[in-house]
């Protein structure tokens, strides 16, 4: 029996190692905050009766993800007193952030959005900051811990855990809210963060790396540290040709997709879908479609140049927004919703695979961590600041003149009940239009790009 067991393990390659498998729960802890401060929080706010404008503005809570490059050199250098001696630099940062996330989301579970919206916004923003800090530490720990041959396997298990967290924090939280309450749903979600500290206790400390580092940053070498760790990566990038266009392209490539995504859950709730239907279709089927899209995007990138795949992915993302407009026309129809969500997530997966490959090829090998944090921060702009007006676009814009204009060209009976959804239909058409600029500047954003 032991002989057979060893043969089976040998066939798993690097996946039979605890150091690799441990990144499933660690990736879970990294991915869990995203839905809890994003789509799931939007659903909770919608249930509380907040305006769509207020719900849309909550996308700004994700701002720390767009700015994490600012403090990444600190996380990469500073050692936490006492914990560093017990766990090492990386694990001590991870333990601290995971415990704080548990506390923050436990507090969030006890806040009534209607009674203390400002406190809720403060706690959600703080949780996003701690989550972004956890991402910095976890990326560094994974790269340091795994050998060159193990890196791909480590990334695979990390992404698997991350995707599981999206289901648990999305569909799982909606199920709990439907059958229990939002209070208990967020308490249970907060307890999930305690999985990370348990796993960390059985992972090794990077003692070799710690020994080779300087023990502290004193005043004498502080200026030199600032130059090498903080300034040089940005100076190198700013000296590239068309670097401004590159950053603009990164920020708006997924703008249309982000605007639509910010309002997807409120839209579906508003037109009559239940939380259970959203959990079953949007979260579960959507996740499966995203994984398929990522796989297809990887295949396309391996066979064709990245610029071509970027255009294909961007076009599909833009086109998929029209399916939400069609959903607004047909109303509550689960078959149409399954088609809409499948196409939207499939397109998003292809676009994401090409986009991440593009970002990976942009970084200088000398400054991989800092420059990648910078580029992914600009990528997060479309998901946070640029998508924040989405709720206002739905309810703040006076669509009446546009409705009258459109009704002159297409035969729509506004008396049939479509008038209640027309603002959503026009909103998703507008997000389709706003996706066009990202496609138009692909050539500028990829000028002199080596592929």
Question: What pLDDT does residue 193 have?
Answer: 92
Question: What pLDDT does residue 69 have?
Answer: 77
Question: What pLDDT does residue 449 have?
Answer: 57
pLDDT at 446 over 80: no
Query: Rounded to an integer, what distance in angstroms lies between the CA atom of residue 389 and that of residue 11?
Result: 51
Question: What pLDDT does residue 99 have?
Answer: 94
Is the Cα dihedral 335, 339, 345, 348 positive or negative?
A: negative
Please identify, in words, the CATH class of the domain defined by 15-213: mainly alpha
Query: Rounded to an integer, what distance in angstroms lies between the CA atom of residue 356 and that of residue 352?
Result: 6
Query: Rounded to an integer, what distance in angstroms lies between the CA atom of residue 361 and that of residue 381?
Result: 20
Report the pLDDT averaged over residues 84-98: 86
Query: Which pLDDT tens digit goes with each residue over 231-242?
Result: 777 788 888 888
Widest pairwise Cα distance in the chain: 76
Lowest model confidence (mean pLDDT) among 185-199, 274-288, 289-303, 308-322 = 289-303
Max mean pLDDT among 1-15, 178-192, 205-219, 355-369 falls in 178-192
Query: Which pLDDT tens digit goes with each residue over 104-144?
Result: 999 988 988 888 888 888 898 899 999 999 988 887 787 67
Domains 15-213 and 223-451 share a fold: yes
Give CA 159 to chain center in angstroms.
12
Is the Cα dihedral 35, 36, 38, 40 positive or negative?
A: positive
69-77: long-range contacts, CB 8 A cutoff, minimum separation 24 = 69/370, 69/373, 69/374, 69/377, 71/133, 71/136, 72/136, 72/369, 72/370, 72/373, 73/229, 73/230, 73/370, 75/133, 75/136, 75/137, 75/140, 76/136, 76/140, 76/229, 76/369, 77/217, 77/225, 77/229
Kindly state the helix (H) or strand (E) to which residue 249 belongs, with its residue range. Answer: helix 243-252
Question: Which pair of structure tokens corresponds to residue 224?
Answer: 């030199």
Options 3.40.50.720, 3.30.160.100, 1.20.1250.20, 3.10.129.10; CATH for 223-451 is: 1.20.1250.20
What pTM value is reported for the model? Answer: 0.65
**What percent of the chain is predicted at pLDDT more than 70?**
76
How many alpha carbons fall within 13 Å on the CB side of residue 43? 32
pLDDT at 210 over 60: no
Closest CA to 356 of 204, 276, 250, 263: 250
Query: Which pLDDT tens digit goes with each residue over 26-75?
Result: 889 998 998 888 888 888 888 888 777 777 777 777 778 878 878 877 77
């Amino acid at each position: 029996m032991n002989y057979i067991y060893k043969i089976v393990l040998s066939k798993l390659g690097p996946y039979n190692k605890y150091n690799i498998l441990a990144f499933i729960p660690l990736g879970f802890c990294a991915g869990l905050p995203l839905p809890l401060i994003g789509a799931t929080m939007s659903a909770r706010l919608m249930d509380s009766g907040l305006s769509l404008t207020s719900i849309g503005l909550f996308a700004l809570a994700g701002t720390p993800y767009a700015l994490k490059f600012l403090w990444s050199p600190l996380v990469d250098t500073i050692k936490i007193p006492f914990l560093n001696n017990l766990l090492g630099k990386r694990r001590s940062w991870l333990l601290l952030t995971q415990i704080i996330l548990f506390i923050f989301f436990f507090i969030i579970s006890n806040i009534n959005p209607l009674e203390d919206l400002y406190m809720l916004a403060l706690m959600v923003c703080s949780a996003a900051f701690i989550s972004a800090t956890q991402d910095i530490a976890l990326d560094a720990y994974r790269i340091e811990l795994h050998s060159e041959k193990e890196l791909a396997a480590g990334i695979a298990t990390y992404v698997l855990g991350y995707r599981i967290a999206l289901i648990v924090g999305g569909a799982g939280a909606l199920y709990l809210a439907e059958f229990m309450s939002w209070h208990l749903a967020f308490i249970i979600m907060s307890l999930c963060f305690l999985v990370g500290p348990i796993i960390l206790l059985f992972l090794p400390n990077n003692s070799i790396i710690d020994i080779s580092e300087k023990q502290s940053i004193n005043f004498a070498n502080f200026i030199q540290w600032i130059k090498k760790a903080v300034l040089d990566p940005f100076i190198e990038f700013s000296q590239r040709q068309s670097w401004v266009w590159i950053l603009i392209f990164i920020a708006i490539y997924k703008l249309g997709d982000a605007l639509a995504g910010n309002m997807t859950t409120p839209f579906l709730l508003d037109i009559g879908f239940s939380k259970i239907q959203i959990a079953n279709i949007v979260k579960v089927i959507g996740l499966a479609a995203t994984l398929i899209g990522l796989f297809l995007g990887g295949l396309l990138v391996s066979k064709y140049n990245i610029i071509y795949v970027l255009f294909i992915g961007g076009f599909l993302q833009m086109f998929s927004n029209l399916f939400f407009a069609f959903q607004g026309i047909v109303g509550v129809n689960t078959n149409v919703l399954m088609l809409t969500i499948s196409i939207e997530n499939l397109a998003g997966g292809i676009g994401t695979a090409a986009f991440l490959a593009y970002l990976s090829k942009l970084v200088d090998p000398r400054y991989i961590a800092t420059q990648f944090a910078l580029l992914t921060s600009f990528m997060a702009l479309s998901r946070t600041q640029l998508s924040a007006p989405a709720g206002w676009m739905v309810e703040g814009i006076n669509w009446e003149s546009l409705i009258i204009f459109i009704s002159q060209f297409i035969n729509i009976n506004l008396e049939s009940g479509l008038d209640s959804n027309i603002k959503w239909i026009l909103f998703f058409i507008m997000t389709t239009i706003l996706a066009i600029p990202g496609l138009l500047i692909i050539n500028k954003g990829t000028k002199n790009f080596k592929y």
